Structure 1
Amino acid sequence: MGVAYSVGEVDHLYTFFVQWSPEMYTKSNKKHREPHYIIREKHQKHYLVVERNKAAVGKIISGPVKPTAKNWEIITVKEPKRRLSLSSEDSELEEPEYRKEVEDDLIVLDDHSQLLDDDYHLKMLAAHMPARTQGCPWQLVYSTAVHGSSLKTLYRNMVGLDSPVLLVIKDMHNKVFGAFSSDPFRVSTSCYGTGETFLFSFNPKFQAYRWSGENSYFVSGDLESLQIGGGGGGFGLWLDADLYHGSSFSCPTFRNASLSTLEDFIVQDLEVWTVHN
């Protein structure tokens, strides 16, 4: 038995089609028709029936289907976005090859890192960076090994910066974790940042914790501590004024697990990188 979409869901899908194929779904088009959507059991794999040579025109279905017209084809729901992202030369690539090409990209560091010492670290982080940072070299703006352990120095080194930063920490258990912040760290009276901000951990496998949308407690800081994520009685990542003691709790902002082995940890080394404009 089919399950009908709610009005809100239909509006959402219609907006999707307008974004991907405005020439087919605009008010100025005299041939404009309200699209029809059919979806069956939610656990089945969904497909999109589209007109050939169009990115996303048609209806969502699940299960086998036999369109009668020869100018229609069945593709996965993810396929339209992939097609639009590829150039005409790359349009013949299969999706697994395309994904592999993206995953092979690495973050380019202008300086040596004592914490990101593995291509695996750089590859995993690169796959989660926002598009505006792709292809940009990263420079070291603060390191406890170079500048000592001081939150004040960290803030001072970021004065005048207007670019995202990557905070990387290694604790006394040799666990590597940290945060990507859409804005450089600074003393503030309220939270700042955007939904690009996320937490990550190599503990032991890579895990990224993106914005949940539940609140906007991205980053805040004063002379006593730096906090990233919050709202549930604990911070996703917290560091003291000496950048020596830290803690990591599950928080609503990112719905993360503790980034370290223990919720309270001691910092062994810390680095902050920024995009080199």
Structure 2
Amino acid sequence: MYEDTFEDDDGESQVPSITHARTAPPSTGGNNTSQTASVSHSATTSQLFAPPPLTPLSLIGYGERTKNKLLTKALAEEIRHLLPLRLQLYDTWRLCYSLEQHGVSLQTLYMMSAPPRTASRPGYVLIVEDKLGGIFGAYMNEYPHPSRNGRYYGNGECFLWKSKLIVSSLPGSENASTTSLSGSVSDSASTKSVNIQFKAFPYTGVNDYMILCDSHYVSVGGGDGKYGLYIDDRFEKGLSSSCPAFGNEPLSDAGQKFDIVGVEVWRISNF
């Protein structure tokens, strides 16, 4: 399980570089040529092994009248750092489906999630909001679509995740509280510190039960008769239990069963 907490802002994400430095030997009072060469080689090696900087993300697809936006840039950056390296470099995420914008239709979700032919190995982020304001979901290496012959698809790149906003009072203000990721921080925001509590549950290798969908539901993660995440075709009810595929805890604070408020699917690709 991966867990992190960071301040919720729209600043650029900082990616730690990988440095392979050497310590220069102490001078013996003679020629310092070897020491200088060692330091120079150390700097060159650090540059060669440092990953490229990540540019800030752009989220495209929300309508001007959309009120319930489930994905923020801060949350997207948390998810981004767990994606395959090829997808971390893409700085534009596109909204494929939104319950608010496109209505209640699982078939519409499937149709709009299908990637364009020009897209190269895209990834998908499924986001769910429950009635308690929790925001959670899954990363899928394939777009959601009905399974063939009732078989699971997807690979070990998939993972489940959950998050919530933690609003902490600064000295002299009111007590700390928790609020919805898609909601707004109340009146005394200037005296509060807002952080995202984020947890991710990667593939365990126990089984290959990643993605299973049909005309009645979407699910990610399985085994032992459990679903890591399950949403019905009317986007009203959901399930989340600890499953062998991801070894996750229930994603909703409501427990294994929860009421759905919002659903979104985002595509990460070159188009």
TM-score with structure 1 setting the length: 0.61
Q: 1:81-107 CA distances to partner (integer Å, 9 max, x unpaired)?
A: xx97x524x77xxxxxx9xx97x8654
CA–CA separation in structure 1 for the residues paired with 2:212 and 2:251:
18
SS at the partner of 1:266?
strand
| Residue in structure 2 matched with residue 73 of structure 1 by the alignment | none
Note the 1:1-277 alignment, pairs <5 A: 86-88=46-48, 106-112=56-62, 114-117=69-72, 119-136=73-90, 137-161=92-116, 163-188=122-147, 189-203=150-164, 205-262=197-254, 263-276=256-269, 277=271
Distance change >3 Å, CA 138–CA 187, structure 1 → 2 = same
SS at the partner of 1:235?
strand
Higher strand share: 2
Superposed CA RMSD in Å reads 2.9
CA–CA separation in structure 2 for the residues paired with 1:159 and 1:200:
23
Q: 1:238-267 CA distances to partner (integer Å, 9 max, x unpaired)?
A: 011112211100000000000001211111
Deviation of the 1:120 alpha carbon: 2.9
Deviation of the 1:183 alpha carbon: 0.3
CA–CA separation in structure 2 for the residues paired with 1:126 and 1:174:
22
Deviation of the 1:198 alpha carbon: 0.4
Deviation of the 1:203 alpha carbon: 4.0
SS at the partner of 2:58?
coil
Deviation of the 1:111 alpha carbon: 3.0
Higher relative CO (Cα under 8 Å, sequence separation at least 6) belongs to 2
SS at the partner of 2:138?
strand
CA–CA separation in structure 2 for the residues paired with 1:182 and 1:164:
5
SS at the partner of 1:125?
helix
**Unaligned residue ranges in structure 1 (runs of 5+):** 1-49, 54-82, 92-97
Deviation of the 1:132 alpha carbon: 1.4
Larger Rg: 1
Distance change >3 Å, CA 177–CA 145, structure 1 → 2 = same
Q: 1:133-171 CA distances to partner (integer Å, 9 max, x unpaired)?
A: 122211110000111122111112123556211011111
Say whether the 8 Å CA contact 2:115–2:143 is kept in structure 1.
Answer: no
Matched positions, count: 189
CA–CA separation in structure 2 for the residues paired with 1:141 and 1:233:
30
CA–CA separation in structure 2 for the residues paired with 1:196 and 1:182:
6
- Give aligned-pair identity as a percent: 30
**Unaligned residue ranges in structure 2 (runs of 5+):** 1-19, 24-43, 63-67, 166-196
Say whether the 8 Å CA contact 2:61–2:96 is kept in structure 1.
Answer: no
TM-score with structure 2 setting the length: 0.63
CA–CA separation in structure 2 for the residues paired with 1:106 and 1:179:
22
